[in-house]
Chains A and B, each alone.
Chain A
Amino acid sequence: MIPASFEYERPGSLDEALGLLAEHGDEAKVLAGGHSLLPLMKLRFATPAVVIDIGRLDSLSYVRDEGDHVAVGALTSHRDVARAELLRRHVPLLAHAAGQVGDPQVRQRGTLGGSLAHGDPASDLPAVALALGATFVADGPQGRRELAGDTFFEGFLETALTPEELLVEVRVPKVDGVGWSFQKLTKRAQDWAIVGAAVLHGNGRTGVGLINMGPTPLRALDVESALRAGASASDAAALADVGTEPTADLNADEAFRRHLVRVLVRRGIEEAAAGTSG
Chain B
Amino acid sequence: MDLDPEGIFRDDSDEDDDNLHEREANKEMVVYLIDASPKMFTPANAAKADEKQETHFHTIVNCITQSLKTQIIGRSRDEVAICFFNTKEKKNLQELAGVYVYNVTEREQLDRPDARLIKEFSCVEDSFMNNIGSRYGITSGSRENTLYNALWVAQALLRKGSVKTVSKRILIFTNEDDPFGGITGAAKADMIRTTIQRAKDAKDLGLSIELLPLSRPDEDFNMSLFYAELIGLEGDEVLQYVPSAGEKLEDMTDQLRKRMMKKRKVKTLSFAITNDVCIEVNTYALIRPTAPGTITWLDSISNLPLKTERSFICNDTGALLQAPQERFQLYNDKAVKFSVRELSDVKRVSSHHLRLLGFKPLDCLKDYHNLSPSTFIYPSDEQIFGSTRVFVALHSSMLRLGRFALAFYGTPTRPRLVALVAQEEVISSSGQDEPPGMHMIYLPYSDDVRYPEEVHLTSGDAPRATDEQIKKASNLLRRIDLKHFSVCRFANPGLQKHYGILEALALGEDEMPDIKDETLPDEEGMARPGVVKAIEEFKAAVFGENYDQEEAEAAAAKGGASKKRKAIADAASQKSAAYDWADLADNGKLKDMTVMDLKTYLTAHGLPVSGKKDAIISRILTHLGK
Partners in one complex: no
Chain A residues close to B by CB (< 8 Å): none
Q: Contact residues of B with A, CB < 8 Å?
A: none
